[in-house]
Amino acid sequence: MAAAGRRRRRRRGRADEVAEDGGAVLRRLREARDDLLSSGFWAASAGASVRARLGGSAEPPARCVCYGLGRFGGCPIARDQLAFLLLLLEELGVPPARCSLFDPVFSKQEAAVLGELGLRLLPENEEGKHDVEGSATLFYMVHCGNALYNNLLWRNWSLGALPKLVIIGNSFRGIEERLLPRILRRDYSYIEKVLKVTEEVALPAHPRYLDTFNDTSIHWFPLEKLQELSPEIWDFVEEPTYEDCDNLEIIRREDKAPECSPIAAES
C-alpha cells in the first residue's frame, strides 16, 4: 500500500510538473502576443496586407490549416509565429476549433497547450495534401519546404478550389529566384505553373522579426487570372513524387520525425 501511494504521488508530481511547464509556455506565448502588438509589427501586417486581402472583398476563410510551426515550447521564433497565428484567427473571426495544425516534432506538452488554446491537431501527416473541400481556407506555412506548397497546389489543382486558397508562407517569387528554371519545373511543377497568375504581398520588414517572418508573403489565386491559363495546364494533374529532388525538406509519412525541427534547433 505504501509503495502504491508513492507511485501515485510520483505520477501526481509528474502531472503537476507538466501542467506547470504548460502554464509557462502559455505565459511566454502571451508575452509574445503582447510584443507583437506593442512593436507595431502586427498592426503593420494587418493593415498593409492581412486585413486588406483577407478581410476585404475576397471570400473570408472559414477555417485554417497550419503546417510546420516547430517546437514553440522552447523556440522563440516558433512561439512568435504561433502568437501571430492566434492574432490572425481573431482578426478573421475564425474560431480556434476551426484551425488544425500538424508538425511531427510537437511534444506531448505542446500538443496539450494547443488543445488548451482550443486548436485542433490533424491526426496524420498529410504531406501538405489538404483538400479545401469547397471552403475558403487559410494555410499558414511559414518557412516550410517547397514540396509542401507544391503538394498543396496539386491537391487543389482546379478552377473551383485554387481561388479558395490563401497561403501565408515562403515567397513564391523568392522560390523562383533561388531555383534554376529546370529544377523548379522538374521538382515543383505546380508552383512553376501557377507563378504568373499568383497575387503576392510580402509581410512588412521589422528589425525584431527578421528571422521570424523573413521571405514570408501572403499568396492568393484570383479566378479571373487562373482562367487565363491554357486548358492543357489543367489537364495534367499527376501527383508529385520528388524522385530526383536532392533536398526535399519534407517529412514524409513513412519517415521518422526528428527530435527537433531545424528552426527549433537554432534557439
Q: What angle do CA 41, 46, 50 make, to 5 degrees?
A: 125
Q: Which amino acid is at 51?
A: R
| Cell numbers linked to 122 | 490533424
pTM: 0.86
Measured distance CA(119)–CA(97) in Å, rounded: 5
**102 Cβ contact partners less than 8 Å away, ≥ 6 residues apart:** 66, 67, 121, 122, 124, 125, 126
C-alpha dihedral sign at 50, 51, 52, 53: positive
What are the distances in angstroms from CA 29 to CA 94, 95, 110, 151?
A: 19, 18, 12, 30
Q: Which amino acid is at 214?
A: N
Q: Which amino acid is at 46?
A: A
**Residue 56: other Cβ atoms inside 10 A:** 8
Q: What is the dihedral of CA 169, 171, 175, 181, to 10 degrees?
A: 130
Which residue ranges make up each domain of the chain? 22-234
C-alpha dihedral sign at 105, 109, 114, 120: positive
pLDDT tens string, the chain, 267 residues long: the values are 444 444 443 433 333 334 448 899 999 999 999 999 999 999 999 876 777 677 555 678 999 999 999 999 999 999 999 999 999 999 999 999 999 999 999 999 999 999 999 999 999 999 999 999 999 999 999 999 999 999 999 999 999 999 999 999 999 999 999 999 999 999 999 999 999 999 999 999 999 999 999 999 999 999 999 999 999 999 888 999 888 777 677 667 665 544 333 333 333
Ramachandran sector of residue 242 (left: φ over 0; alpha: ψ -120 to 50; beta: rest): left
Asked if residues 102 and 121 have their Cβ atoms less than 8 Å apart, the reply is yes
Fold of 22-234: Rossmann fold (3.40.50)
